[in-house]
Structure 1
Amino acid sequence: MKQLLIEDHTADYVFISIVLRSGSLVDPGGAEGMAYLAANTLLLGTREMPRAVFLDELDYLGASLDVSVGKESVILEGEVISRNLDPFIKLLGDVIKFPALSVDEIEKLKRRTVAELEQIRDNDEALCAVFHGRHMWGNHPYGRPGKGTSATIGAIEHGSIASFLTAHVRDSNLIVAAAGHIEPAQLNDLVTRYLAGIPGEATTIPVLSTPTPAKGVRVFLVDKPERTQTQIMWGHPCIHAGHADYFPLMTANTAFGGTFTARLMREIREKRGWSYGATSRVGVDRQTGSFTMGYAPATKDAVAAIRLGHQLLETFVFEGPSAEELEFSKSYLTNAFPFRIETAAKRLGQMLETELLARPSNFVETYVQNVEAVTLEKAAEAVSRHIQPANITLTVVCTASDIEPELRSWDKVCELHVVPYDQM
């Protein structure tokens, strides 16, 4: 069980994260959402402490506790005043080792999860993200819905959640990370006393390859009635966190669509007023990543905005960023970075992310140096190698009949599909 620590004795509180190196990628086939449900059962109490009593105990300690689920990790994170750290860690240890797994509480959790999934239909931005992830990744494991679907959540049984936790809550699979008013010996003592006895080896996360982007411009219209505004997302699979081109590509993308004054925002928002926001992102994980860009024009401007977005991307890939754009991007990134590590909790977050993404241990210390080392040539080469406007997926939440005919006549499109919005 690995331990990470950021000491900060200027404040009388401690942030704690217990990390499981297993996320939604290890969901069994047909049981998407298993990791999500299993992780959230850790907020439902212990064998000796039902949910209501468990929540009362958290309140008594003045502590907070939440859980997040990613593709490759589950993070149980909380905060407590330092004098209550001992009982708080004991509580976390009991939750990890002896979760309540109440049938009634799990059924309530499943119903809440299904309700949350169904609510996505009313949020066009979230709806677009769900469909875009599915279509961009295709059959790749990253295309599976991390939170599951109404059908898969409904089919997951109590016993399978217990089996999932037994398989993945393993000593070698855990990280305990702390920041604040705590010393190394104290953390080690708490881990030894309250997290000892967890079995050793865990099921490993499958090794994945970055998929090759599908050929051509593929369009998926998520058909929803009476839309006066659209949600547009472009994207394709891209580099992983440890790739040698990470800094050149990330810095170049910041110039294209990573700030409020970037090229994409200027053209879509400032010059034409088509969308309040227009952004692009290079998102990375340990094994793969993606390039995405998005904006939300009115239906009457959607096709023009789609054509312009693609044209801007083609030009950016062909020419790369300008010298002025790159210098602004580097200045923005280096000047903003101190705010990402200004507190002990933020520094711990960076340390934990470095560990989970298998980045070099000095990633944070050398971040500014690596950004400053990006040249115009390196940025242009990275963009040319990894951004592919000719092989990209476009997802649009819209009323399909409003824009389908015009999009079908666009010579860039190699295939176009209309998908009902309620078939999530």
Structure 2
Amino acid sequence: MTETTNGICREDFAGATIITIEDASLPVVRWVAAAPGGSSLDPAGKSGALSMTMDLMLRGTQHKSREVFSSHLEGLGSSLSALGGNELAMLRGLSLKRNLGETLGLMREVMLEPELSEQEFEILREETIDDIVSIPDDDGSLCGVFWRRALYGEHPLSRMPSGEIGELLNLTLDDVKAMHQKVFEEGRLLWVFSGDITPAEAREAVESIYSTDTPREYLQTPTEPVASRQAPHIVVIDKPDRVQVQLRVGHMAVSGEHEDVDPLWLGSTAFGGTFTSPLTHEVREVRGWSYFAATEFRRQRRTPSPMVMHTAPAQEDLVDCLKLEWELFTGLADGQLAHKDIERARQYILGRYPLSIATASDRMVPALYLELLGKPAHDIYALPRRIEKLEAKVVSEAMNKHLDPAKLLVVMVATAKDVVDGLRAEFADATIEVRDYREGLTRPS
């Protein structure tokens, strides 16, 4: 089945779905081969399996050593890279049009004939663990790890896509080989091409790697729901000698499939998505507590996405800053977001969003995520019209419906002995737990 709308062609074959976004202004082709599910495909107790598999695939093939492979690729001026996330894993390519055939030949070796050597596996595992061990050196990254753990609890999404140290140490090369076979030899992939390439050439490109006529199915991912907290909870990641606190405050909202995702996104932008939004203005401009103050809501996720406030106050201002954020969030949940703030955010999105999809390459990942949500890729062009038509009342109602200050999760990197008493005194209704900042981020002794 072939469908072309606004310059985006979608073709569905037995063995693959191919999206082509043509732009012949430069003789360059970009592409993505995506495996839906991402790290959610990792077996229980084997986190990092898919990430390790994809990185290892790029470290030599059955026909070329790692050095020879890299030299050949660099000689073409092309690139191949891997990127793994919670919901999506991607192999990405970039090539001049004249070198597309040779680059795809190398990609075929990567996908179907990787070496997957024991030596490179051990080297990669050590490098991956080294990267994880370094996370506590950066408070922002550290807060992100503990936020993920606290938000998702026992759900598979609580694991880092790169893997947890203890589980990486239990991972074997056989696990990687099994993952490679399942995802790349047998599983269905979603392909997106952009640049100087036609739909027919895009299908030919995929056919040079494997037959699109051979039936393939997307791999099934865990479907268990993410548990929602029923009472406010504060996690203090205890790190000595902190002067500044990395602070995240929020709770789970909705997935990209939910009918309220647009009003929630507009509301999130209005609340803390610009320098003039209430959260940013009150925390940054009025009180000077944090240079950075913003909200985050990822509107294109298949699993529910949280609405999160990010700030970084001085430790001495922490309690006051958190109290203010709590009050502002409560007003937001009560539907008190001012219409002028919603209108200002609407105009910002209508002016900014077209720039984010201005080129064919810019449209690739948004089109890919829409496909995974079961929406047409050309829906990227429809978003401004929907935002333009959204009534302020609908935005406020969505905030009231999906936000609840009684369910707030707070995660911070701070020095526990300096902040816990103040937190207990001010937030008596919240449970507080203290975690060591190195937990799960050091090598076993």
The 1:315–1:412 alpha-carbon spacing in structure 2 relative to 1, beyond 3 Å, is farther
What RMSD over aligned residues (CA atoms) do the two structures have, in Å?
Answer: 1.6
Q: Deviations over 1:220-265 (max 9, x none)?
A: 1000011111110112221000110011110011010111221111
User: 106, 120, 123: which one pairs with 1:105?
Assistant: 120
Q: Which residue identity lines up with residue 409 of structure 1 in the other structure?
A: A
Corresponding residue number in structure 2 for 1:289: 305
Separation (CA, whole Å) in 2 of partners of 1:199 and 1:43 = 26
TM-score, L = length of structure 2: 0.92
Residues in 1 aligned to 2:81 and 2:208: alpha-carbon distance in whole angstroms? 23
Contact 1:407 1:413 in 2 (8 A): no
Give the residue type in structure 1 aligned to 2:107: L
How far 1:287 sits from its partner (Å)? Answer: 2.8
Q: Is 1:7 aligned to residue 22 of structure 2?
A: yes
Quote the Cα distance in structure 1 between the aligned partners of 2:157 and 2:428.
26
Moved more, 315-324 or 293-302: 315-324
Once the two structures are TM-superposed, the CA of residue 150 in structure 1 deviates from its matched residue by 1.6
- Given residue 238 of structure 1, which amino acid in structure 2 is its aligned partner? A
Residues in 2 aligned to 1:400 and 1:323: alpha-carbon distance in whole angstroms: 40
Name the counterpart of 1:44. 59
What is the correspondence of 1:353-372 to structure 2 with a 5 Å cutoff?
Answer: 353-372=369-388
CA distance in 2, matches of 1:328, 1:208: 38
Q: Does 1:409 align with 2:418?
A: no
Aligned to 2:70: 55
Determine helix, strand or coil for the equivalent of 1:214. coil
Q: In structure 2, the residue corresponding to 1:154 is in which secondary structure?
A: helix
| SS of aligned partner of 1:267 | helix
TM-score normalized by structure 1? 0.96
What is residue 176 of structure 2 aligned with on the other side?
161
Deviations 1:13-36 (A, max 9, x none): 100111112311121111111111
CA–CA separation in structure 2 for the residues paired with 1:77 and 1:157: 25
> 8 Å contact 2:108–2:208 — kept in the other structure?
no
Residues 30 and 94 in structure 2, CA contact (< 8 A), matched pair in contact too: yes
Equivalent of residue 390 in structure 1, options 401, 406, 410: 406
* Cα distance in structure 2, aligned partners of 1:83 and 1:335: 36
Corresponding letter in the other structure for 1:372: E
Question: Which residue of structure 1 lines up, in the alignment, with residue 340 of structure 2?
Answer: 324
* 2: CA distance, partners of 1:162 / 1:172: 14
1:413 positional shift: 3.5
Q: What are the equivalent positions in structure 2 for 1:208-357 lying under 5 Å apart?
A: 208-209=224-225, 211-284=226-299, 285-357=301-373
SS of the aligned residue for 2:380 comes to coil
Q: State the secondary structure of the residue aligned to 2:115.
A: coil
Closer/same/farther in 2, CA of residues 247 and 203 from structure 1, 3 Å limit:
closer
TM-aligned CA distance change 1:309 to 1:14, over 3 Å: same
Q: Is the 8 A contact 1:22 1:168 kept in 2?
A: no
Q: How many angstroms apart in 1 are the aligned matches of 2:363 and 2:258?
A: 22
Q: What is the one-letter code of the residue matched to 2:346?
A: K
- Percent identity reads 29
Are 1:138 and 2:188 an aligned pair?
A: no
Runs of 5+ in structure 2 lacking a partner? 1-15, 441-445
Paired letter, 1:378:
V
Q: 1:78 aligns with which of 89, 93, 102?
A: 93
Aligned to 1:205: 221
For 2:421, what is the secondary structure of its paired residue?
A: helix
Q: Give SS of 1:344's match.
A: coil
Secondary structure of 1:363's counterpart equals: helix
**Equivalence map 1:170-185=2 (5 Å):** 170=185, 173-185=188-200
Specify the code of the residue in structure 2 equivalent to 1:359: K
CA contact (8 A) 2:246 2:312 kept: yes
4+ runs of 1 displaced by more than 4 Å? none
Cα offset, 1:167, TM superposition: 1.5
Which deviations, in whole Å up to 9, do the C-alpha atoms of 1:261-298 show, x marking residues without a partner?
Answer: 21111011101111111111112411321111110011
Change (3 A) 1:22 1:252: closer
Distance 1:86 1:234 in 2: 49
Q: Distance in 2 between matches of 1:169 and 1:22?
A: 13
What amino acid sits opposite 1:10 in the alignment?
Answer: S
Change (3 A) 1:136 1:193: closer
Cα-to-partner distance string for 1:305-334 (whole Å, 9 max, x where unaligned): 111111111112213321111111110011
Measure the CA separation in 2 of the matches of 1:371 and 1:80: 36
